[in-house]
Amino acid sequence: MKKYLLIILYNISIIILLFLLLEFSVRIFAPQISLSGTSGNLVIDSLYNDSPGIKSNAVGTSGEVKKASNSYHAWKYSKPVSETVRNLLYLGDSVTMGLSVENDSTYAGIINNGADSLRVINPSLIGYSSKDYLNVFNAFVLQNRINLDFTSVILFWTLNDIYSNYPDQKSPEFTTGSFINSIVEFLRHNSKGYHFLKNLFSDRPRAYYDYDRQFYTESNPLLLNSLTNLETISSACDTLGIKFEVVLLPYEYQLRNYGDKDIFEPQMLLRGKLEEKNIRVIDLSSAFGNDKKEASGYYLYGDGIHFNNRGNRLIAHYLEKHLEVQ
């Protein structure tokens, strides 16, 4: 019995040493891999009804980069606050927040810092969906909590904005709360070797796309609820004389399969429904070009949803051209 126990301990020790060696190697040779996780001190629960929000004048981290907020409960950028011609309200989730990207390198930060004539107020936060966008819009525009007038509201839509949290056990993010899942959660936040292996042996970008696209059908209640929320924002903007636009952002798996039949069907369905309501829609899928091999180069490592610095720069460039036209 003692002999078998020693063998087990020996094998466990070898596995741990090999994993530590992998971790050390990945941290040296794959610096583009970033750890997940956002500092809890950056977030306040139920700031906008039942929606959380960004804590004002806070400093924390997202992944391995510094994140700071301003007094408006929005992300802080380096351009000094001054009198501006236009105030833009950005509504979005972790993509527009800029998960694991420094504030000034996000597309919101680039646009804010690149023009003297406008200021971007960006209260976007990880986990937001359409109901949160409506709550945030009500607080910033209808209730005017920060005492600013907005000329434009731009909502950035990713496919997972159709639901809050993950509705069922088929979700790629579903966990059972077991001991094994606790270990996995620890590795997600602390081990780059784990992210390397996960990306090597699985296609997470495809898993997220396959899961999220199922909700984009004519009669799906999640889609219908989302449309109602967006229409409510649009109607309020029309009444107040504020421009409202929805920007559709693609998944990496879609760009990787650019040109394949029906790959952009979810965005096409949503766009059609919104345009029926005279809501202006900008689809950024074509902005990335059709080079399938380049697709992953715009996203965080092993991530099919969140853009890296390069992806943020491309989006900012496209939006800057759009703003010039406006």
Average per-residue pLDDT in the chain? 89
How, if at all, do strands 43-48 and 51-54 pair?
Answer: antiparallel
Given pLDDT bands bounded at 50, 70 and 90, which one contains residue 169? low
Whether 187 is in a domain gets the answer no
According to the model, what pLDDT value does residue 23 have?
78
The CA distance from 272 to 179, in Å, is 45
All residues at 6 or more sequence positions from 317 whose CB lies less than 8 Å from its CB, including other chains: none
According to the model, what pLDDT value does residue 68 have?
97
What pLDDT, in 10s, does the model give residues 240-256? 999 999 999 999 999 99
Domain that holds residue 210: 40-168+201-325
Whether 253 is in a domain gets the answer yes
The CA distance from 61 to 41, in Å, is 9
Give the CATH number, domain containing residue 222: 3.40.50.1110
What pLDDT, in 10s, does the model give residues 207-229? 999 999 999 999 999 999 999 99
Does residue 58 contact residue 70 with C-beta atoms inside 8 Å? no
Residue 107 tokens, joined: 């597309």
Identify which has the larger pLDDT, 165 or 300: 300
Average pLDDT over residues 292-317: 93
Strands (E) located in 134-211: 152-157
Whether 151 is in a domain gets the answer yes
Residue 222 tokens, joined: 């999640």
Helix (H) or strand (E) holding 248, with range, is strand 243-248
Whether 178 is in a domain gets the answer no
Whether 275 is in a domain gets the answer yes
Whether 94 is in a domain gets the answer yes
Whether 180 is in a domain gets the answer no
Q: What domain count does the chain have?
A: 1
Whether 194 is in a domain gets the answer no
Closest C-alpha to 220, from 155, 181, 162, 164: 162
